[in-house]
Structure 1
Amino acid sequence: MKKFSIMAAVVATALMAMPAVAHAEWYAGAAYSQYDLDGAEVGGATGRLGYRFNPNFAVEGEGTVGVDDDQGVELNHAVGAYAVGIVPIGAGFSAHGRLGYQTMQVDTPLGDADDDGLAYGGGVSWQATPGIGIRADYTRMEGDLDSDAISLGAAFNF
């Protein structure tokens, strides 16, 4: 029930911000994510879809499919939803922090492991053009399998 409450809070915050839309835009991204799962380094292809309500707030969802395993540990998939605070820095650069909920499934030599929990992190982005940018993120998930992930990829505004 606690996990559902966190997700409900993220969605409620996003819906409350809808009437204040002045700079609204959709964005999507593709990235490579490297996860540290209690010592095992696994990688994945990440897709992201978000909605930016104004220059300082967005909500986004992301999904990752494992593409690189380590020591018999393989990421099957990870899915997350986040509220994102954005601070423009200047010259097309911005910093962001994000808070949300993530779930993942991992194959290990001892069997499958499902985990979920609070996820938080931050990153930076640079808009090369009004429609195309580069984004780097760090995300920490607190669960039974505490994980740290870094990702680097492209972002597309539309």
Structure 2
Amino acid sequence: MIKHIAAAAALLAASSAFAAQPGTLYAGVDVGTTKMDDVSGRSTSAGAFVGYNFHENLAIEAGYRRMGEFDLYAYGLYSEVEFKAASLSLVGTLPLGGGFSLLGRVGYNRLEAEAKVRGYGSGKAHDSGTVAGIGVAYAISPKISTRVELQRPGSDVTNLSVGVSYQF
């Protein structure tokens, strides 16, 4: 029995070896793909984020992402629409061992759309709401980690991204 307890303690110690240290900052970048409901095709996204670990399993994170550009046809008009998002989220992690962890996010998101309509000019609109996400992270070293995350920045928008971060 003691051997099992010792093995479990060693496993927990190993899984937390690369855990985020409270009071540290991190920053990173990601690339991915964005899908909008009722719009065919996907668009490439790119983003950057910065966060603060206030607990080994909780961080606050600010991010900016160019969600992509879509060609839309509505009301007899053809337009190119570019989407961008800025967010502020609470990010939680659950260590799984071996450097892997699950991550979840919930926060505030501001989406902006800029449309260019051929022959008519351009216009902008924005909407605010909740952002939610789930993913998997892998700590390559105590300072560098990667993540794969699925986010829902709007009720009709889904983004899948792969990123890397550096903990200061």
Q: TM-score, normalised by structure 2?
A: 0.71
| Aligned equivalents of 1:74, 1:142: Cα separation in 2 | 15
Alpha-carbon distance in structure 1 between the residues aligned to 2:36 and 2:23: 36
Q: Deviations along 1:35-74, whole A, 9 cap, x unmatched?
A: 22232533332000001112211110101135x4232232
Q: Residue 87 of structure 1 aligns with which residue?
A: 94
Encode CA deviations 1:93-144: one digit per residue, 9 max, x unaligned. 111111001111123355433122111111111111111111111111345x
Q: Which runs of 5+ in 1 are unaligned?
A: 1-21
| Identity within the alignment, % | 30
> Residue 149 of structure 1: CA displacement?
1.0
The aligned runs of 1:114-129 (5 Å cut-off) are: 114-129=126-141
Q: Contact 1:57 / 1:84 at 8 angstroms: preserved in 2?
A: yes
**CA distance, structure 1, for counterparts of residue 96 and residue 48 of structure 2:** 25
Question: 2: CA distance between counterparts of 1:115 and 1:151?
Answer: 22
* Paired residue type of 1:108: A
Any gaps of 5 or more consecutive residues in structure 2? 1-20, 72-79, 118-122
Secondary structure of the structure 2 residue equivalent to 1:118: strand
Secondary structure of the equivalent of 1:69? strand
How many matched pairs? 133
Amino acid aligned to 2:109: Q
Report the equivalent of 2:82: 74
* Structure 2 Cα separation of the partners of residues 43 and 102 of structure 1: 19
Counterparts of 2:66 and 2:54 in 1: how far apart (Å)?
28
Normalising to structure 1: TM-score of the pair? 0.75
Alignment RMSD (CA, Å): 1.9
Equivalent positions of 1:59-70 (< 5 A) are 59-65=60-66, 68-70=68-70
Aligned to 2:112: 105
Larger Rg: 2
